[in-house]
Amino acid sequence: MNRRQLFVGGAAVAFAPAAFSLGGAAQAAPLDYDSLAKIRAEGMGLTSSKVMDLSSHLCDVLGPRLSGSPGIRKSGEWVVSKMKEFGFENAALEPWPADPTGGNNGFPRGWENQKFYLHAIEPLGFPISGMSVGWTPGTNGLVKGECVIVTDTTQAALKEKWTGKLRGKWILGAEPANVRAQWDPVARRYTREQLDNMENPARGPEFGTPAGRGGPGTPPTPPAPAAPAAQPPAAPFNRATFFRQEGALGILATNKSQGVVNVLGASRTIPPDEAVPTINIIAEHYGRIFRSTQRGVPVTIEADIRNVYFPEPAMFNVVGEVKGSSKPDEVVIVGGHFDSFHAATGATDNGGQCMAALEALRILKTTGVPLARTVRVCLWNGEEQGLIGSRLYVREHFGGARVNTQGGGGGGQVSIPAQPAKPAHAKFQAYFNLDNGGGAIRGIYAQQNGAIARIFREWMEPLRNIGVTHVNMNTTGSTDHASFEAASLPGFQFIQDPIDYEPKTHHTNMDFYESLQPEDMRRNATILASFCFLAANHPELLPRKGPPPVPAPVVEPPPKGRRR
């Protein structure tokens, strides 16, 4: 067996090429190990890698990137400038298509927090850790008031007990959380056994399974009781609206502990003058305030919170590409969602991995490795609100199925109409997505595409000694590769070490640059570049699963001289 030596930083790393049978007698095309070695040397080099420098500027200097905010536009413009500096083509903030419904594709208004001050002043002073929920108003200057516990939920109870009693008060709207001790390590990596279990499906029940456990002899399931007759829906009641009408200063809430708070978004459609300031604070501070109030010791809080709205913000995705040589109209895309929430700088979700995708293209451009197909980087806007940016992009560029997305962050449902498959649909190669935190890539989800799994296993051979070892045949969702899947295009998400993504950094006030692991980031950028290189030079279009979408009808023009 021939062996090539890949040298990285003076250390020799052996590659052992392996031949895999694809569909019988056909053999896979040989991999270009010389080009893969160049990618590895550039991407893993301590001095040549740019991924941590890019991540620091994005997160530390430019800050959070809430969809529709000035912050995400400023960050996008900086990324476009870096793409041009690196020599990418067609680098731009690509606008979302116009929304015929007039709803600006789910963003009738943008939002940004510009100041946050929250402090208990009586009976003892202490700073309160938290952040405004997105798209809720601020305090309109410095305000102060006592806290009051209001756990009633029905309209009748609230009106009977609290009408005329909430003006100038802070609302504690729920019982405090029971905080669980952190018995288990917060940060972790997948073990080999865990990865094996992901890759190998669990066995079904054996013969002789006792009755009631799913095997032979299980008695039939009794029929479900008839559903009650449908009742006309009651008029919606919103507690926050009631609190606003009663003149409350705001609502305090909590959802996590250990100094961590999860901060997402409220409705983007409720006008600001009908909303109430809503603030999520850490469980420890919420519990202290609640219990003091419950004991009859008034807690007075002052706040100065400035939240600003922007009507119909310009929405966009960030794109740039390195052109292929022989098949430039066939495309490989790599990316992740660019938007973040606003309590931190969105490093693990998902700024760092966006910079790994940007670095992957820089590696390909800098090394000059041959690319038959075009490789494009796409950084998506509006992912946190329902994959809106990537779904719109897929529809506009490739066509595809109708999709209704339940918009996260209170945005309601966004309907993206179907379009017939466009010519580019048949020439699309693959989309690779990175959005499961800041941990190292350990494998890839094949999305139940058995034919492509064999190809991925071959591609992983040169990458095994930097941790990429497993192909999971199952599907995963909830991020932007699902937009490509919905249009019958090959879209894939990588398996990543969880590190401390849950419960520490995902959508929380702790998602900063410090949660990125430099070695993992260099590996991820190198792996992304390698997969893009291999997909761009694969001799054929990668196999797809399921039937292709119905092509657009061809309308023949009438012969000359004939009237319609």
Spell out the domains of the chain, with CATH numbers in brackets.
Answer: 4-103+314-537 (3.40.630.10), 109-179+238-311 (3.50.30.30)
Angle at 454 between CA 452 and CA 456, to 5 degrees: 70
Q: Write the CB contacts of 245 (distance below 8 Å, at least 6 apart in sequence).
A: none
State the pLDDT at residue 412: 52
What DSSP line would sit under 274-309, residue for residue?
A: G---EEEE-HHHHHHHHHHHHTT---EEEEEEEEEE
Which one-letter amino acid corresponds to residue 411? G
Residue 156, C-beta contacts closer than 8 angstroms, at least 6 positions apart: none
Residue pair 439/189 in contact (Cβ under 8 Å)? The answer is yes
> Would you state the pLDDT for residue 493?
97
Output the pLDDT for position 24.
35
Q: Quick one: DSSP state of residue 514?
A: G
Distant-in-sequence, close-in-space partners of 264: CB < 8 Å, separation ≥ 6: 133, 134, 341, 384, 408, 409, 507
Q: Which residue has the tokens 């202290």?
A: 288
Phi first, then psi, for residue 407 (nearest 5°) are -65, 125
pLDDT at 204: 75
Residues in a beta bridge with 120:
126, 301
Question: What pLDDT was estimated at residue 205?
Answer: 78
2 phi, psi to nearest 5 deg: -75, 140
Reduce the secondary structure of 126-146 to three states and give it as a string.
EECCEEECECCCCCCCCEEEE
How far apart are alpha carbons 71 and 68 in whole angstroms? 8
pLDDT reported for residue 142: 98
Return the closest-CA partner of residue 303 out of 357, 236, 249: 249
* pLDDT for the residue numbered 347: 98
Helices (H), 411-543: 450-460, 481-486, 518-537
Give CA–CA dist 486/479, Å, rounded. Answer: 12
Q: In the structure encoding, which two tokens stand for residue 435, read together?
A: 């959005």
pLDDT tens per residue, the chain (564 residues)?
443 333 333 333 333 333 333 333 334 568 999 999 999 999 999 999 999 999 999 999 999 999 999 999 999 999 999 999 999 999 999 999 999 999 999 999 999 999 999 999 999 999 999 999 999 999 999 999 999 999 999 999 999 999 999 999 999 999 998 888 888 888 999 999 999 998 887 777 777 655 544 444 444 444 555 545 555 555 567 899 899 999 999 999 999 889 999 999 999 999 998 999 999 999 999 999 999 999 999 999 999 999 999 999 999 999 999 999 999 999 999 999 999 999 999 999 999 999 999 999 999 999 999 999 999 999 999 999 999 999 999 999 999 765 555 555 555 556 666 678 999 999 999 999 999 999 999 999 999 999 999 999 999 999 999 999 999 999 998 999 999 999 999 999 999 999 999 989 999 999 999 999 999 999 999 999 999 999 999 999 999 986 545 555 555 554 444 433
Q: CA triplet 131, 136, 140: central angle to 5 degrees?
A: 85
